[in-house]
Structure 1
Amino acid sequence: MQEVTKNSGFKKARQTLGIIFSMSLLFGIGYLLGYKGYLVSLDKFPIVTVDRSYQPERELDFSLFWDVWDRLENGYYDKSKIKHGDMVYGAIKGMVSSVGDPYTVFFTPKENAIVQEDLNGNFEGVGIQIDFKDSALTIVSALPGTPAQAAGVLPGDQIIKIIDRSNNVDKFTERMSLQEAIALIRGKMGTSVTLTIKRSGEDDLQEFDIQRSSINVPSVKLGYVGENESLAHVNVMKFGGETKAEWQKVVAEIVARQTKGVILDVRNNPGGYLTGAIEVATEFIADGNVVTEAMADDRRQEYKVYGGGKLYRVPLVVLVNEGSASASEILAGAIKDHKRGKLVGAKTFGKGTIQEPQALTNGAGLHLTISKWLTPNGVWINGAGLEPDIVVEDNSDTEVDEQLEKAIELLR
């Protein structure tokens, strides 16, 4: 996005729309967990430039916009804060946020880069996954072995305030976008950020001072549990770009070992590429639909298993909790509706919409909610989550993983 400058051309532009937005939109097939998008290099796809010049039939009046622009530019006391590029970005953010959907978001180039870091799984921060729950910024999961987990933050904790004294940040999260929150929480390894937390069932707010570190989030971890380690415990931590290759290696080892059963653990899995969820479902479900996309015009698109799975007959239990969101809910919902295995644990997060990521000029981006997704039985879990077949609460006061123990018991 070019900065807006004061010249005759700029004044002339006011007489039309004010600004001509030239957007480089990328179109393609492929699906992202909750997102429609690419799983491959973006530079291989055609770029279409859309010229959004003034359209008289819309009878748009931008006089108030420019009145406020001029008052801010001419009257604000600290001229160093007046940056035309940031003002345009801010105006776009306000326009997008007006629909009241926390998942429809405009990203500046810096924020958009964070989205890619999330999918790649390598960044510097505290190691939490966050999202909005009932309009509150909520911790979906604290990743294993990270500073956040060591500090004691829990899934379901609401982040009320973010403080980073080294960067003069002291901001409440109300009306904050998801990407702004992520950008504020992340930072250079060795620096600290303080999160003010509201925990369910507790009246007093808590502050957690957490030192940032280098975070490398794997997609899949494999271990063995039960008598004689006869059960495979597969922890799918996200559905990222590397998940397919990691998952295929895990499946090959399970098949070679001839395990008695599989415990598929998607607790605290915040999502990722939808293609990854279908890939995993394909190993367990022989035929049928994994998820249905329901569009605003009443069209529906089913996404079925690929076929050729290797674990159709292996007994299965799926572990879920309140940190299981989006693509992990799609996978768990498919397993549940096809009666392929039991869901054990706690009710899931409840994110049932699909966003299309659109790449804009200079690395900016737009995530636009375009549809909702339904389980194979036609259930929309948005805001409600998936109810497990067997509810087991994990007691944080003990070292025992009660949910995992229940899964082992079911597969004996």
Structure 2
Amino acid sequence: MEENQRRQIPIGFIISLVFNCLLFGAVIFLVVYQIPGLMKPSSPQTAINKELPKEFNVLNEAWSIINSDYVDKTKIDSQKLGDGAVKGMIDALGDKFSVFVDPANTKLEANQLTGKFTGIGAYVGLSKDRVIMISAPMDNSPAKEAGLKSGDLIIKIDGVETRNMTITDAALKIQGPAGTTVTLQIYRDGVDQPFDVKITRRQIDIQSVSAELKDDILYVALRGFQQNSSNDLIKALKDGVDKKATGIVLDLRNNPGGLLDSAVKVTSQFLDKGTVTKVIDNKGESSTLPIQPGGVATKLPVVVLINGGSASASEILAGALQDYGRAKIIGQQSYGKGSVQMIRSLSDGSTIHITIARWYTPSGKQIDSVGIKPDLVSDLEGDELVKYAIDTLKGNAAK
């Protein structure tokens, strides 16, 4: 990825924040799924390994010292200390997509992949200097109404500096119950001093699919891979086919990803055979996810739009269509998230999002930390890129 390319992740899967997905109170992209042959979720009881490494003895020693020696006994909170120990263990993996989520935030996350959540309604990512950044405020959202803009850097969240926060940490701190407020300290290019923006959270209903016919070309914007995304896409594609569309522009810009099952169903609408993605698990074993037959748009020419905010499931889709020569990819290099997270429940209601595998395009090209390289690189943005894609598509159709 070019040095000046901003790496963006729609926070939460969304901002109010979703993930693993994750969005947004904040949004994060993440993929939750099961693949035959990969480890299956286990209950907290069966997950316990009674033979802990001897290095873990120091945890008991540390707890004993804190409990017996710390001066202010009223401030010893065993729950917080336990959470901190688990978080530290996960952080020590050095994997920004493996995270610990406490019980309260686990509950807040639960509804996000359904397309409903409470937050500020913004996509959040990382700037080239790895500062938490507003990738894009969502339409009709508290974030947009408060005046947040793409490229705004978040310096503090409720007075806490974001310097050492992961995207997940920031997203979880931004999200919260409807009616509550969060204060973001913003640095904006061209403004001398950082400034505070106070935003009231509310429920955000995400419409992951929007479509319209532009002349005879069906333009479809896919903003996430949620539970109903594939069904909504199928309806849009069928409507376009009924209206005699001659081609499709599929816009995946700033799409952070989502459910792998949704990605498989969506990809299968454009391919009549083949593989969606190749997966290599934590044992080094390889498996593939096949195309599901019966796609409704397997013959119409397709152009796919991507940028630095296209991640995870978006890259699976774009990579498969590119590998099979099914679509021309236009825009900027995608984010490069080629890892798979499974959500594991702990006995206290908290969860661990743990990376269990990495995926590759059907031809075996690496996605993780690389991304999808467009066939046609373009710096155009917004509707200008859509117009360019339509012109390109019509030119191809004329040949």
Q: Distance in 2 between matches of 1:205 and 1:313?
A: 51
Write the deviation string for residues 147-186 of structure 1: whole angstroms up to 9, x where unpaired.
Answer: 32344545565533212xxxxxx21223334443223212
Maintained 8 Å contact 2:275/2:291: yes
Which residues in structure 2 correspond to 1:5-154 (within 5 Å)?
34-37=30-33, 47=43, 49-50=45-46, 52=48, 54-55=50-51, 58-60=53-55, 62=57, 64-73=58-67, 79-130=73-124, 136-151=131-146, 153=148
Q: Distance in 1 between matches of 2:313 and 2:243?
A: 28
Maintained 8 Å contact 1:286/1:312: yes
Task: Give me the TM-score of the superposition, normalised by structure 1.
Answer: 0.77
Q: Structure 1's 391 and 288: CA in aligned 2 closer, same or farther, altered over 3 A?
A: same
Maintained 8 Å contact 1:141/1:323: no
Maintained 8 Å contact 1:137/1:160: yes
Q: Distance in 2 between matches of 1:231 and 1:385?
A: 27
Q: Which residue of structure 1 lines up, in the alignment, with residue 397 of structure 2?
A: none
Query: SS of the residue aligned with 1:411?
Result: helix
Whether 2:165 is the aligned partner of 1:176: answer: yes
Q: Distance in 2 between matches of 1:275 and 1:378?
A: 20
Q: Structure 1's 296 and 38: CA in aligned 2 closer, same or farther, altered over 3 A?
A: closer
Q: CA RMSD in A?
A: 3.0
Query: SS of the residue aligned with 1:361?
Result: coil
Q: Which residue of structure 1 lines up, in the alignment, with residue 240 of structure 2?
A: 254
Task: Give me the TM-score of the superposition, normalised by structure 2.
Answer: 0.80
Q: Which residue of structure 1 lines up, in the alignment, with residue 365 of structure 2?
A: 379
Query: SS of the residue aligned with 2:334?
Result: coil
Q: Structure 1's 136 and 117: CA in aligned 2 closer, same or farther, altered over 3 A?
A: farther
Q: Distance in 2 between matches of 1:77 and 1:144?
A: 51
Shift of 1:97: 1.1
Q: Which runs of 5+ in 2 are unaligned?
A: 1-28, 36-40, 395-399
Q: Which runs of 5+ in 1 are unaligned?
A: 1-32, 40-44, 164-169
Query: SS of the residue aligned with 2:157?
Result: strand
Q: 1:162 aligns with which of 157, 164, 167?
A: 157
Maintained 8 Å contact 1:102/1:132: no
Does 384-393 or 103-112 show the bigger shift? 384-393
Letter matched to residue 46 of structure 2: V
Higher relative contact order (CA 8 A, sep 6+): 2
Q: Structure 1's 61 and 34: CA in aligned 2 closer, same or farther, altered over 3 A?
A: closer
Q: Distance in 2 between matches of 1:150 and 1:379?
A: 41
**Count, aligned residues:** 360
Which residues in structure 2 correspond to 1:132-281 (within 5 Å)?
136-151=131-146, 153=148, 158-163=153-158, 170-197=159-186, 207-225=196-214, 227=215, 230-281=216-267
